[in-house]
Amino acid sequence: SPAVVAFLGLGHMGLPMAKNLLAAGHEVHGFDLVPAAIEAARTAGIPVAASGADAVADADVVITMFPAGKHVIEAYRTELLAAARPGTLFIESSTIAVDEARAAHALALAAGHRNVDAPVSGGVVGAENGTLAFMVGGSDDDFAAALPLLEVMGKRIVHCGGPGLGQAAKVCNNMVLAVSQIAVAEAFVLGERLGLEHQALFDVVSQASGQCWSITTNCPVPGPVPTSPANRDYQPGFAGALMAKDLGLALQAIEQTSTDARMGRLAQEIYAAFAAGDGAGRDFSGIITDIRDDRV
Ligand code: NAD
């Protein structure tokens, strides 16, 4: 049945997600702090409230899609939790640290609400097409309550466990992704120096035990996978700045848990440097250029 959904944070991801909820028949009350985002939302037919508090006042569900954890905690604390009706379900979909997600969860519960963390992967294309993957942390009941809305915006929805564990799964996945993308790039550069053709290496690795998304879909050299960012001068895709952000969250989790994750730490260093150089706006598979030029 249709729900009243407050959707806060109408940026690259939030706006197309909100559009899909609207198209599925839900009543959407949007809000963003930035005039250009408000304008774009209105143009897309999404009613925009005068403030975050107004947007959540008569909502059944509040979805937040903000840049970072500090925005979530701040908005929960100063405005949203007090303005919502008791028992409102807060779905927090930004990518934030595990401990920030748990802090947000505790704040929501203390204010008499329900909360799940539900970060996504799939990027803007997945948001537009309603094919995001959601990784969800929270109670069974709250997951069940969130599911019908998540199914409108995504196609693969996994209940990962209790509060914070959606973010935990996200950070672990992206650590694997970063390490494997670096490994594939190193292998292509090593192969080049040994006289190995890109296509030959691709034909072997993509069908052998080194197979992974970083080669079969996001192949860092042009040719073997025509749709990979390497074929369009590393236009993203998944931008270096976002990978660097996610690895910063991974590093935070590694340090808090004293995990011996040397590959993850190294990947964080490598992508922090990539994003600080010319990589922020390039696909993260562009790391191969830095490796080839001895800039890593
Ligand atoms: P974005 O910067 O385009 O959008 C975030 C929006 O939140 C901005 O428009 C900002 O004005 C708004 N905002 C901040 N504080 C607010 C508040 N208190 N009230 C209302 N609006 C507020 O970012 P994005 O690319 O849409 O990403 C959003 C989140 O999703 C991030 O945490 C990001 O890491 C994650 N994510 C992004 C992608 C991607 O490909 N862009 C993929 C997966 C996950």
CA of 70 to the centre of ligand 1 (A): 12
Cβ–ligand 1 distance for 167 under 6 Å, the answer no
Q: Is 170 a catalytic residue?
A: yes
What is the atom index within ligand 1 of the atom nearest the CA of 31?
Answer: 20
Same domain (yes/no): 193, 269: yes
Final residue before a domain boundary, out of 142, 161, 180: 161
DSSP-derived letter for residue 276 is I
Element (H, E) at 99: helix 98-110
Give residue for tokens 């702090």: 33
212 and 278 share a domain? yes
- 208 class by beta-carbon count within 10 Å (0-12 exposed, 13-18 middle, 19+ buried): exposed
What is the C-alpha to C-alpha distance for residues 85 and 91, in angstroms, rounded to an integer? 15
CATH label of the domain that carries residue 245: 1.10.1040.10
Residues 135 and 64 in one domain: yes
Question: What is the DSSP code string of 39-64?
Answer: HHHHHTT--B-SSHHHHHTT-SEEEE
Asked whether residue 157 falls in the same domain as residue 173, the answer is no
Question: Is 88 close to ligand 1, i.e. is its CB under 6 Å away?
Answer: no
User: Given CA atoms 287, 265, 201, 295 in this order, what sign does their dihedral have?
Assistant: positive
Q: How many angstroms separate the CA atoms of 113 and 92, rounded?
A: 13
* Cα-to-centroid distance, 246 and ligand 1 (Å): 13
| 92, 205: one domain | no
| Residue 1 binned pLDDT confidence (cut-offs 50, 70, 90) | confident
**Residues in contact with 74: Cβ distance below 8 Å, sequence separation at least 6, in sequence order:** none
Dihedral, 116, 52, 126, 275 alpha carbons, nearest 10: -90
Burial of 194 (0-12, 13-18, 19+ CB in 10 A): exposed
The Å distance, Cα 93 to ligand 1 centre, comes to 9
Write down the pLDDT at residue 70: 98
C-beta separation of 73 from 107 below 8 A: yes
Say how far apart CA 290 and CA 121 lie, in whole Å. 26
248 Cβ closer than 6 Å to some ligand 1 atom: no
pLDDT more than 70, % of the chain: 100
Nearest CA among 214, 252, 237, 255 for reference residue 68: 252
Instruction: Measure CA 124 to chain center.
Output: 10
Residue 14 and residue 146 in one domain:
yes
Domain tally, the chain: 2
Over residues 199-232, the pLDDT tens digits come to 999 999 999 999 999 999 999 999 999 999 999 9
Same-domain check for residues 152 and 39: yes
Burial state string for 263-280 with b = 16 or more CB within 10 A and e = fewer than 16: ebbebbebbbbbbeeebe
CA of 65 to the centre of ligand 1 (A): 5
pLDDT in tens, 123-148: 999 999 999 999 999 999 999 999 99
Residue nearest to atom 38 of ligand 1 (CA): 123
Predicted TM-score (pTM) of the model is 0.96
281 shares a domain with 207: yes
64 alpha carbon to ligand 1 midpoint, in Å?
9
Residue 195 C-beta-side C-alpha neighbours within 13 Å = 0
Tell me what pLDDT residue 228 has.
Answer: 97
How does pLDDT run across 30-48, given as a tens digit for each residue? 999 999 999 999 999 999 9
| CB-based burial label for 257 (10 Å; 0-12, 13-18, 19+) | exposed
Same domain membership, residue 75 and residue 98: yes
- State pLDDT tens for residues 179-205: 999 999 999 999 999 999 999 999 999
Q: CA 141, 145, 148, 153 torsion: positive or negative? A: negative
Q: Point out the domain boundary residue: 116, 140, 161.
A: 161
**Tokens representing residue 68 in the block:** 């970072």
Query: What pLDDT was estimated at residue 170?
Result: 98
Residues 177 and 101 in one domain: no
Residues 94 and 128 in one domain: yes
Q: Is the CB of 64 under 6 A from ligand 1?
A: no
The range of the structural domain enclosing residue 133 comes to 4-161
Instruction: Report the residue among 10, 66, 174 best suited for mutation to probe ligand 1: largest number of ligand atoms under 8 A from its CB.
Output: 66
Pocket probe for ligand 1: among 56, 65, 121, 218, the residue whose CB has the most ligand atoms within 8 Å is 65
155 lies in the same domain as 57: yes
- CATH number reported for the structural domain that contains residue 48 in this entry: 3.40.50.720
pLDDT band at 163 (very low <50, low <70, confident <90, very high): very high
When the pLDDT of each residue in the chain is averaged and rounded to a whole number, the result is 98
Confidence of residue 151 (pLDDT cuts 50, 70, 90): very high
Q: Is the CB of 8 under 6 A from ligand 1?
A: yes
* Domain stops at, among 161, 179, 213: 161
